[in-house]
Amino acid sequence: MAAKAPAASGSSLDRLPLAGKVGFGLLMMALVGALFFVFLYEDLSNELSRAVQREGQLRDELRTAQLAKEAYQRDRDEKVRSEVRAEQTKKMLPDDPETPAFLASLQQTATIAGVNLTSWTPVEEAPQEFFAKVPMKLTLSGRYHQVAKFFYGVGQLDRIINMEDIQIKATQRPPTTPGADENVEPEVTVECLATAFRALKLGEQGSKRRGPGK
């Protein structure tokens, strides 16, 4: 009986020569590398696209925030300017008579000018369409230049004050005796009407426009 041939053992890769095995290994490595590169590149590309999109959104948000900040700054500056204007307007034309403050400012001005404010008498208000006159009769005494300085000082006050019905009377004449200083100013007494103003409030303005009995 004839002997049987030995059965083939091992895989086809095992039967390849060394050069074939090396080539097959390189091929598999290249294939794995290609697949890895494809998937990695796709992930990186998607991540990059998302990052670029996010950057655009952040830039838009930054521009919006900057515009909002500039608008807020403008509004705040305008509010400050409005408050300053309102405060200045209220000093010039308050909506209350503020008679004590009115008199105090006149007394302070008289003291600075060097005149004596000897009497003051508040007079009844005289309403107009949008404002009311707040008069006060004054009597003061001093020398001519002191009185002029007083009137000038009143004109420099924040509150609007008109000096009206001014009457000046000499109370002391310069000396006429020999050797006396003839350049001494005479003392005078001044009677005048100091008129301040105040803004009418909304209700007062409405009453004024409607007139009595309406």
| Domain extent listing, the chain | 20-92, 99-175+185-207
Is a pLDDT exceeding 50 seen at residue 133? yes
CB-count burial class (<10 Å; 0-12, 13-18, 19+) for 128? exposed
Is residue 187 pLDDT above 80, yes or no? yes
Average pLDDT, the chain: 79
Q: What is the mean pLDDT of residues 181-189?
A: 76
Residue 213 pLDDT level (bands cut at 50, 70, 90): very low
Q: Does 99-175+185-207 carry CATH code 3.40.50.1370?
A: no
Mean of pLDDT values over 159-186: 75
Residues written for the chain: 214
Dihedral angle, C-alpha 60, 62, 66, 71, nearest 10 °: 50
CA distances from 74 to 62, 67, 81 (A): 18, 11, 10
Query: With contact defined as beta carbons under 8 Å apart, do 89 and 95 qualify?
Result: no
Rounded to whole angstroms, how far apart are CA atoms 148 and 125? Answer: 27
Q: Where does the pLDDT of residue 89 fall: very low under 50, low under 70, confident under 90, or very high at 90 and above? A: low
The DSSP 8-state label assigned to residue 93 in this structure reads S
Strand partners, 119: 139
Compute the Cα dihedral for 77, 82, 83, 85 and give only its sign. positive
Tell me the pTM: 0.55
Q: Are strands 187-199 and 126-127 parallel, antiparallel or unpaired?
A: unpaired
